[in-house]
Amino acid sequence: MAGTSVHSLLFVLSAFSAVCYGGSVIRERDAVPAGYAARPYYPSPHGGWTSDWSASYSKAKALVEQMTLAEKTNITAGTGIYMGNPCVGNTGSASRLGFPQLCLQDSALGVASTDNVTAFPAGITTGATWDKSLMYQRAVAIGQEFRGKGVNIYLGPTVGPLGRKPLGGRNWEGFGADPVLQAVAGALTVKGVQEQGVIATIKHLVGNEQEMYRMYNPVQEGYSSNIDDRTLHELYLWPFAEGVRAGVGSVMSAYNAVNGSACSQNSYLLNGLLKDELGFQGFVMSDWLSHMSGVASALAGLDMDMPGDTQIPIVLGTSYWMYELTRSVLNGSVPVDRLNDMATRIVAAWYQMGQDKNYPPPNFSSNTHDRTGLLYPAAVLSPIGVVNYYVNVQADHYKVARQVAQDAITLLKNDDDLLPLSTSHKLSIFGTDAQVNPDGPNACGNRACNKGTLGMGWGSGVADYPYMDGPIDAIKRRTSNVTYYATDSFPSVPTPAADEVAIVFISSDSGENSFTVENNHGDRDADKLAAWHNGDKLVQQAAAKYSNVVVIAHTVGPLILESWISLPAVKAVLFAHLPGQEAGESLTNVLFGDVSPSGHLPYSITKAATDLPASIANLRGFALGQVQDTYSEGLYIDYRYLNKHNITPRYAFGHGLSYTTFSLTNTSIRAVTPLTTPFPPARPTKGPTPSYSSAIPPASEAYPPPGFVPIWRYLYSYLSKPDADAAAAAANQSTTYPYPAGYSTVQTPGPPAGGASGGNPALWDTAYEITLTVTNTGARHAGKAVVQAYVQFPAGIGWDTPVIQLRDFGKTGTLAPGGGSERVKLGLTRKDVSVWDVAAQDWVVPDPGARYRVWIGEGSDRLGVVCYSDSLVCEEGVGGPV
């Protein structure tokens, strides 16, 4: 129980931790580099103008119209950290009208801080399956668990960080270092979760690519991710666009700044890109304690303040919103129109998911595992009540959890077909990562330690394990011919027989900056890309003794394998990623050949960290003032960079072997919607949005009810009568708020690239469809194949484009050995063959008549099939582009 409370307290304290890194003092922020600017974009576009949301907006309007000022401001902010209901965030209610407090709960991989739930495999593991159906099924199960616990708002999926920096601490919460892999998995997660009636939250918008210095605090600004317009569109915003198109109800802004302006109050990002261009109809919430202004953030497009507090929570019980937002509306600084839109967006999302009908209230507490507990833990005197009902929401979700964990396992190397093992092999097993943490899988709050099998990273992106099926337990269930050395220092062992197999478990962990684990401050700043606990040395020592070594890595991301990967004894390597609770049997099913491995890498594994440029290979270190993280590599991250510079990685993005082999044959391409013009057809115009009176409501709408007794430090939206009257009087004085440059209250028609949820709907016209036959050509093992499609833009179009870019993928079912086959269909949209034209501010197909190549294969370096957009011919058995 202490785990969660201690966590959150540490989390709060971490807001100030930057001080420890360098003892900075309050100062003006450093200049953002020349050329990067956070332009103003006002006003905040009204929600409700797309047809897919219009019915919910009508209902929302009918409800919001009846709300008083204090009710509207109540639902746009949390009631304070540890205040009121049981979740990590809890909004105020408009209970007079039947609008409840909303429960917001971590994490992206399962319901956090409670029991009787499933600890699903992490995002990176899910990405490594390359299986759309499993991505969706996992989301359905997650959605059912959040609903079962009475959570209104799921704080996932994570599609930012994108994985720009291999050392970045939270990359594992997302799906892989490519915008399309991230976008497909993110959008399917939104769909699966929201079909259960739970509002999903796509996060973190945007540029939170490292953990250190991410947060603003009273003495230092969070770092600024300086991202040019084209790179933002083609990489970092891409998954958000797909999430919006999938109908996501909520977006969480990132801690850091973009172009010098904090994401929670960056008008260009929230008003311009998200709400106008991407046509986002839900609401934007701040990341926890990243709210830092009242009027400014409201005008910039923030709709919900989480968890309600200022950056110094609890102590004072203060907020930038709640009663202050009430004041700002009464005194005329925040237009009533903006507050109406904020409230309508929140209520519309609630209707859109059907939460007005039979939605269960929360049944658990994030604050304690006891049945009863404090109802307001941060209050000094709090009533006590039943807070945990122990509702078991696990159903049979272990099955999909295990399937994801199993189908993610990525075979990097398998010399002499050492794998699969037979149960007659004598096995010697090394490494503490093979066994469940002897103190219990949840011994460390927020998994902020790396002890025992690594099933997830650390921080807020975790869940408690109901149990953990450890690898060594599963191996022992299979064979008794096994000796386990539960150590990370190579022990003295008997001389092995020639056919004896050593299995070495290694790990690499990372997480959120709120915790430091073995000197890693969230990011892998201490251990870098080496295995923890001297794992690389353990492998080398095992390889010196045994002639058959299998390495199994539980890891948040890429590792540098060079110190042992070419040793002749190291015959097989499996990346099992972060499997969650089902670490054991998912692995033994692969090890012993019940199934062939079918995972593929969701990132590249380079031979050296310096194979990537310094801007992404390194973390930004301490700076006086605001740390500037400039995306000088532009589009060239991960394989895009390596291909451009002809750097051969150890294992390429998308690489993954099987026990069997596949052929890709009978490939055909067909043009579906002809691309007759470089620019898409004109966008649809915005539909109508709810209209309300714009008159400032009477001050009496802010007064607390007669006899109102507040709970100390609970955040309310009421203003005392004197305060409310004074605010209303101020509205009639000549003093006006110092609005930012470019401020306007006139709604605009929106940019050409917009037009519907996600952007101009014509961007999703299918331009080309490719069909091929995948056949299992091996004689012995069944297996699933992953087929990846990459676009190569024509030469001479006047645009610098990466050599190849992933655009679609598919995974077969289990194909029988000796010819089992399946037809696979892949598609490319107009957007997939477009670049972002900064001058035109639109997507453009540079030369629709030229030859676009679509490369198809089982990895970014195994592309033996190519199809041409101009001749509509496909060739097989070709050498790939890289």
List residues with catalytic annotation: 287
- Answer yes or no: are the C-beta atoms of 177 and 192 closer than 8 Å: no
Rounded distance, CA 37 to CA 258, Å? 9
694 half-sphere exposure, CB direction, 13 A CA radius = 10
* Given 76, 93, 113, 596, the residue binding ligand NAG (CB under 6 A): 93
Pick between residue 679 and residue 836 the one whose CB is nearest to ligand NAG: 836
Contacts with ligand NAG, 768-807, as mask; x by CB under 6 A? ---x-x----------------------------------
Which segment (11-19, 88-96, 446-454, 640-648) binds ligand NAG by CB under 6 A? Answer: 88-96
Pick between residue 301 and residue 511 the one whose CB is nearest to ligand NAG: 301
**Residue 547 lies near ligand NAG (rule: CB under 6 A):** no
Q: Which residues contact 824 (CB under 8 A, 6 or more apart)?
A: 771, 772, 773, 774, 787, 810, 812
* Given 161, 186, 294, 783, the residue binding ligand NAG (CB under 6 A): 294
- Answer yes or no: are the C-beta atoms of 374 and 367 closer than 8 Å: yes
Which segment (29-37, 185-193, 578-586, 639-647) binds ligand NAG by CB under 6 A? Answer: 29-37
Question: Closest approach of Cβ 168 to ligand NAG, in Å?
Answer: 20
Query: Interhelix angle for 721-731 vs 323-330, to 10°?
Result: 40
CA distances from 490 to 428, 438, 544 (A): 12, 20, 11
Question: Pick from 511, 623, 602: which is nearest to 786 by CA?
Answer: 602
Residues 269-288 that bind ligand NAG (CB under 6 A): 269
Question: Pick from 287, 165, 260: which is nearest to 637 by CA?
Answer: 165
Question: Closest approach of Cβ 811 to ligand NAG, in Å?
Answer: 18
**Residue 426 lies near ligand NAG (rule: CB under 6 A):** yes
The count of residues interacting with ligand NAG (CB under 6 A) is: 58
Pick between residue 259 and residue 596 the one whose CB is nearest to ligand NAG: 259
* Given 56, 74, 217, 437, the residue binding ligand NAG (CB under 6 A): 74
The residue type found at 577 is H
- The helix/strand/coil state of 435 is coil
Pick between residue 42 and residue 53 the one whose CB is nearest to ligand NAG: 42
Rounded distance, CA 300 to CA 266, Å? 6
Buried-state track 302-314, b at ≥16 Cβ within 10 A, e below 16: bbbbbbbbbbebb
Angle 199-284-296 (CA atoms, 0-180°, nearest 5)? 160
**Residue 228 lies near ligand NAG (rule: CB under 6 A):** yes
Question: Closest approach of Cβ 442 to ligand NAG, in Å?
Answer: 11
Burial class from Cβ neighbours inside 10 Å (0-12, 13-18, 19+) for residue 545 reads middle
Bridge partners of 775, per DSSP, are 663, 821
**Residue 814 lies near ligand NAG (rule: CB under 6 A):** no
**Residue 668 lies near ligand NAG (rule: CB under 6 A):** yes
* Given 71, 221, 582, 808, the residue binding ligand NAG (CB under 6 A): 71
Which segment (22-30, 281-289, 422-430, 508-516) binds ligand NAG by CB under 6 A? Answer: 422-430
Rounded distance, CA 189 to CA 140, Å? 8
Residues 112-151 that bind ligand NAG (CB under 6 A): 115-116
Residues 673-732 that bind ligand NAG (CB under 6 A): 717, 728-730, 732
> Two tokens at 759?
């952007």
Rounded distance, CA 239 to CA 135, Å? 15
Which segment (94-102, 583-591, 613-621, 793-801) binds ligand NAG by CB under 6 A? Answer: 94-102
Pick between residue 422 and residue 566 the one whose CB is nearest to ligand NAG: 422
Question: Pick from 689, 756, 748, 839: which is nearest to 41 by CA?
Answer: 748
Question: Closest approach of Cβ 535 to ligand NAG, in Å?
Answer: 26
**Residue 259 lies near ligand NAG (rule: CB under 6 A):** yes
Pick between residue 232 and residue 576 the one whose CB is nearest to ligand NAG: 232
CA distances from 570 to 240, 469, 481, 522 (A): 41, 26, 21, 31
> Two tokens at 141?
């199960």
Write out the E strands in 227-371. Answer: 250-253, 257-258, 261-262, 283-285
* Given 220, 225, 253, 333, the residue binding ligand NAG (CB under 6 A): 333
**Residue 476 lies near ligand NAG (rule: CB under 6 A):** no
**Residue 355 lies near ligand NAG (rule: CB under 6 A):** no
* Given 170, 203, 327, 620, the residue binding ligand NAG (CB under 6 A): 327
Report the phi/psi class of residue 50: left, alpha or beta, with left for phi > 0 and alpha for psi in -120 to 50. Answer: beta
* Given 5, 10, 311, 389, the residue binding ligand NAG (CB under 6 A): 389
* Given 258, 421, 434, 553, the residue binding ligand NAG (CB under 6 A): 258
**Residue 297 lies near ligand NAG (rule: CB under 6 A):** no
**Residue 864 lies near ligand NAG (rule: CB under 6 A):** no
Pick between residue 30 and residue 847 the one whose CB is nearest to ligand NAG: 30
- Answer yes or no: are the C-beta atoms of 428 and 485 closer than 8 Å: yes
**Residue 391 lies near ligand NAG (rule: CB under 6 A):** yes
Rounded distance, CA 145 to CA 461, Å? 16
Question: Closest approach of Cβ 186 to ligand NAG, in Å?
Answer: 20
Question: Pick from 566, 577, 554, 452: which is nearest to 506 by CA?
Answer: 554
Which segment (184-192, 325-333, 640-648, 685-693) binds ligand NAG by CB under 6 A? Answer: 325-333
The answer to whether the bond into 491 is cis (omega within 30° of 0) is no
Question: Closest approach of Cβ 259 to ligand NAG, in Å?
Answer: 4
Rounded distance, CA 154 to CA 547, Å? 48
Pick between residue 321 and residue 515 the one whose CB is nearest to ligand NAG: 321
> Two tokens at 499?
């056919």
Question: Pick from 267, 258, 320: which is nearest to 289 by CA?
Answer: 320
* Given 692, 737, 799, 868, the residue binding ligand NAG (CB under 6 A): 737
* Given 12, 18, 63, 70, the residue binding ligand NAG (CB under 6 A): 70
Report the helix count and the strand count for the chain, using DSSP H and E: 20, 28
Pick between residue 725 and residue 847 the one whose CB is nearest to ligand NAG: 725
Rounded distance, CA 280 to CA 48, Å? 9
Pick between residue 93 and residue 286 the one whose CB is nearest to ligand NAG: 93
Pick between residue 426 and residue 528 the one whose CB is nearest to ligand NAG: 426
Pick between residue 23 and residue 416 the one whose CB is nearest to ligand NAG: 416
Which segment (33-41, 343-351, 410-418, 740-748) binds ligand NAG by CB under 6 A? Answer: 33-41
- 3-class DSSP string for 469-484: CCHHHHHHHHCCCEEE
Residues of this chain that interact with ligand NAG (CB under 6 A) are 35-39, 70-71, 74, 79, 84, 92-95, 101, 115-116, 228-229, 232, 258-259, 268-269, 294-295, 324, 327-328, 331, 333, 361, 363, 369, 389-392, 424-426, 466, 480-481, 497, 499, 666, 668, 717, 728-730, 732, 735-737, 771, 773
